[in-house]
Chains A and B, each alone.
Chain A
Amino acid sequence: MIQDNLIKVGMADLNVTRLTGVLKTTGLGSCVGLTLYDAKMKIAGLAHIMLPSSEIAKEGNINIAKYADTAIPELIRRMEALGAVKSRMEAKMAGGAQMFMFSGNSDTMRIGLRNVESCREVLKCHSIPIIAEDTGANYGRTIEFDCETGKLVIRSVQHGVKEL
């Protein structure tokens, strides 16, 4: 893959691109990497979502890219600003793993699952279909979304490379 137009998305961060560019985020554990794509306009967005809901936020100025319920609307808004149309958007997601196994699973430990569920709900509210996903299990993932082709490449240590 040509890497000269790589756009890095950090943890609790989001970004969008048009026509060209590869959106990349590394080291997804319990976090969810969610991509939206308008294939006709070739506009893509990627959010690295860390927590399910901004309701649990204790910070004053919340980082809207961190929470599923605030990051997805912002991603849609940023893409629309570039000319994307919401009704054409399709979502893919990866991550939401449970990295460690514990006997007494507290809520924190199941955070990956909750992130994925929350993303599903928010996308449903916006009537955006999820056309592919690779979520859950117990391993970390690095993902790259190619804006030109709409392909999502998922790399992991134990399972190699997967394309959605």
Chain B
Amino acid sequence: MVSFKQFADFQMDVLKEVGNIGAGHAATALSRLLDKPVDMLVPKVRIVPFEEIADSVGGAEQVVIAVFLRVDGETPGNLFFIMTQESSKRLLKKLVGLENAEDESYSDMELSALNEIGNILAGSYLSSLADFTNLNMYPTVPSVAIDMAGAILSYGLLQFGQMGDHALLIDTKFLEGNDAVEGHFFLIPDPESFDKIFIALGVQTP
């Protein structure tokens, strides 16, 4: 079994490109939905201790909205689309014109809309990756949750939990204009998926 601490720099670059392509297409999809430009930052590929998994979204106790999909197929993994509550409310307002009170609750309609947005974005993330790698990847039906980032993201770590205390995370952040709808894509491939990704992209594994 691979040890993640031993990935070479060029392999990390390949994974970065994986995040770039996937999130790039998802950002395009979001941009079409909003009819506004959406910027994207260079993806970060990090091997993080479980403790720090939630740091880039504000820490384990930070309340976030997450749409989670399990990726099935040749390279199984977990995909999260994560937003702050403020961002999600702005997104809802723009996209579906759901005018909502400033409180922290979400109606069924809002949750359903978020679920669908997550579905569209994650679908474009995965289909672009599948095209790029020629590997089969298909998403499960998404599920949305509003909770502490630590509690949510720990779900993506279970496959890693069986073999270590670190996980490899491909994190892409995107921003929309001045109103700053900010979100993250977290792709956490299962440990056994890395070899397949590398082989599919013609990268020799040492």
B161: which of A12, A101, A103 is its contact (CB, 8 Å)? Answer: A12
Closest to A54 in B: B162
Closest to B53 in A: A11
> Are A142 and B148 within 8 A (Cβ)?
yes
Closest to A50 in B: B161
> Are A11 and B163 within 8 A (Cβ)?
no
> Are B150 and A26 within 8 A (Cβ)?
yes
Task: State the majority secondary structure of interface residues on B.
Answer: mixed
- Write the nearest CB–CB distance from A4 to chain B, whole angstroms: 19
Kindly list chain B residues whose C-beta atoms are within 8 Å of the C-beta of A72: none
A21 at the B interface (CB under 8 A): no
A31 at the B interface (CB under 8 A): yes
> Are A100 and B161 within 8 A (Cβ)?
no
- Write the nearest CB–CB distance from A159 to chain B, whole angstroms: 11
> Are B147 and A58 within 8 A (Cβ)?
no
Kindly list chain B residues whose C-beta atoms are within 8 Å of the C-beta of A111: 158
Cα distance A11–B162 when bound, in Å? 13
B165: which of A63, A101, A141 is its contact (CB, 8 Å)? Answer: A63
A130 at the B interface (CB under 8 A): no
- Write the nearest CB–CB distance from A21 to chain B, whole angstroms: 20
B150: which of A11, A102, A108, A138 is its contact (CB, 8 Å)? Answer: A11
B61: which of A50, A57, A139, A142 is its contact (CB, 8 Å)? Answer: A142
> Are A139 and B51 within 8 A (Cβ)?
no
B141 at the A interface (CB under 8 A): yes
A27 at the B interface (CB under 8 A): yes
Cα distance A141–B61 when bound, in Å? 9
Closest to A138 in B: B145
Task: Determine the interface band of chain B, counting residues with CB < 8 A from chain A.
Answer: 20 to 34
> Are A27 and B54 within 8 A (Cβ)?
yes
Binary per-residue interface labels of chain A (122-164) against chain B in the complex, 1 for a CB within 8 Å, 0 otherwise? 0000000000000000111110000000000000111000000
> Are A140 and B165 within 8 A (Cβ)?
no
> Are B148 and A26 within 8 A (Cβ)?
yes
A66 at the B interface (CB under 8 A): yes
A29 at the B interface (CB under 8 A): yes
Kindly list chain A residues whose C-beta atoms are within 8 Å of the C-beta of B12: none
Kindly list chain B residues whose C-beta atoms are within 8 Å of the C-beta of A30: 154-155, 158
> Are A27 and B149 within 8 A (Cβ)?
yes
- With A58-B1, A100-B143 known as contacts, the answer to whether A27 contacts B161 (CB < 8 A) is no
A75 at the B interface (CB under 8 A): no
Kindly list chain B residues whose C-beta atoms are within 8 Å of the C-beta of A156: 147
> Are B51 and A99 within 8 A (Cβ)?
no
B138 at the A interface (CB under 8 A): no
A23 at the B interface (CB under 8 A): no
> Are A27 and B50 within 8 A (Cβ)?
no
> Are A28 and B151 within 8 A (Cβ)?
yes
Q: Interface residues, chain A, CB within 8 Å of chain B? A: 10-13, 26-31, 50-51, 56-59, 63, 66, 97, 99-104, 108, 111, 138-142, 156-158
10 smallest CB-CB distances across A and B, nearest first, come from A27-B150, A140-B151, A29-B151, A27-B60, A100-B143, A140-B148, A58-B163, A140-B147, A26-B60, A11-B50
| Additional pairs, 6, CB under 8 Å, beyond known A30-B154, A142-B148 | A26-B148, A27-B149, A27-B151, A30-B155, A59-B163, A97-B151
